[in-house]
């Protein structure tokens, strides 16, 4: 319970810092983001993944992001063609509604609700799931639906040289060969990884924007409906009703599927000119609304 309260405190502190005159908001949250991406996430991967006992059930959390993104692509591409939406609007909704905040928000919430065992599953949802989808399919969508373009080599280079991906591969190799670090190294990795909660949530608070004057309300509603309700519902139907799965791993997978839109995906959409204001609104309204919908899904998964 205390961990859940801390989540709100960190976000509120970030919102307060936004309002301090002269406070370098952009510089600070970008610095926090780099610390999380280049240090905290790799440390968590190296700490948790070597300890995971692999089995076929682990494919379920890995599949969450791939299924969610595929569904967003099919749905918004269909709606875009039917109603004559611009390519930029369609691309924006695919990116922002198709990927969830499985690390910046997901890790602290899963840690609070399920502890270290839940984190092992959350890492799988995020690393080979959300991160790889963003770095491959996400970049492809951003490129195809904007005027710019990136070569296949550039995309591959981004993936292979991205620190969380490198450490993810190293951690997987360690797991295969049943190797883990000495205790003092593990303690250091755990300490560095623990920074993900305060840094990520402060970053979220610093980036939240609540734009009230906009022509995008209808599209915001569609995007959040898919991300916060339909995506976890699809995962629930597939995993629980169709495949008849029942475990803590499935619970965590469903909860991660219900997370708010991914900040990095929204930044990717904005940087490619895919409706920057709508991208910002997906974060600004999606994160606080997700706290309500997550409560609903938490009660739902108790019956898994």
- pLDDT tens-digit map of 223-275: 999 999 999 999 999 999 999 998 999 999 999 999 999 887 887 787 778 88
pLDDT in tens, 106-162: 888 998 899 888 988 998 898 788 877 887 788 788 888 886 555 667 766 766 776
State the average pLDDT over residues 17-32.
88
pLDDT at 283 over 90: no
CA distance 168 to 131: 10
* Bridge partners, 100 (sequence order): 261
- Whole-model pTM over 0.75: yes
How confident is the model at residue 3, as a pLDDT?
A: 61
Domain ranges of the chain: 41-188+217-301
* HEC readout, the chain: CHHHHHHHHHHHHHHHHHCCCCCCHHHHHHHHHHHHHHHHHHHHHHHHHHHCCCCHHHHHHHHHHHHHHHHHHHHHHHHHHHHCCCHHHHHHHHHHHHCECCCCCHHHHHHHHHHHHHHHHHHHHHHHHHHHHHHHHHHHHHHHCCCCCCCHHHHHHHHHCCHHHHHHHHHHHHHHCCCCCCHHHHHHHHHHHCCHHHHHHHHHHHHCCCCCCCCCHHHHHHHHHHHHHHHHHHHHHHHHHHCCCCCHHHHHHHHHHCCCECHHHHHHHHHCCCCHHHHHHHHHHHHHHHHHHHHHHHHHHCCC
Looking at every residue in the chain, the average pLDDT score rounds to: 86
């Amino acid at each position: 319970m205390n961990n859940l309260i801390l989540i709100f405190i960190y976000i509120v502190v970030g919102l307060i810092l936004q309002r301090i005159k002269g406070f370098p908001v952009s510089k600070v949250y970008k610095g926090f983001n780099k610390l999380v991406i280049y240090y905290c996430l790799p440390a968590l991967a190296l700490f948790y993944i070597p300890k995971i006992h692999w089995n076929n059930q682990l494919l379920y959390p890995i599949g969450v992001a791939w299924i969610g993104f595929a569904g967003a692509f099919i749905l918004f591409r269909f709606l875009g063609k039917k109603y004559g939406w611009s390519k930029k609007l369609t691309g924006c909704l695919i990116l922002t509604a198709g990927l969830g905040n499985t690390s910046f928000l997901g890790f602290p919430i899963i840690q609070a609700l399920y502890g270290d065992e839940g984190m092992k599953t959350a890492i799988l949802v995020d690393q080979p799931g959300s991160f790889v989808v963003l770095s491959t399919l996400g970049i492809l969508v951003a490129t195809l639906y904007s005027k710019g373009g990136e070569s296949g080599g550039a995309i591959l280079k981004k993936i292979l040289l991205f620190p969380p991906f490198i450490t993810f591969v190293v951690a997987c190799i360690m797991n295969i060969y049943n190797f883990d670090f000495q205790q003092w190294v593990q303690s250091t990795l755990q300490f560095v990884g623990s920074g993900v909660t305060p840094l990520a949530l402060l970053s979220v608070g610093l980036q939240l924007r609540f734009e009230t004057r906009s022509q995008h309300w209808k599209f915001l509603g569609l995007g959040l409906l898919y991300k916060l309700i339909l995506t976890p519902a699809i995962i629930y139907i597939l995993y629980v009703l169709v495949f008849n799965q029942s475990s803590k791993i499935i619970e965590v997978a469903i909860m991660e599927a219900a997370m708010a839109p991914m900040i990095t995906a929204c930044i990717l959409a904005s940087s490619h000119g895919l409706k920057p204001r709508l991208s910002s609104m997906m974060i600004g309204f999606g994160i606080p609304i997700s706290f309500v919908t997550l409560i609903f899904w938490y009660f739902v998964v108790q019956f898994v």
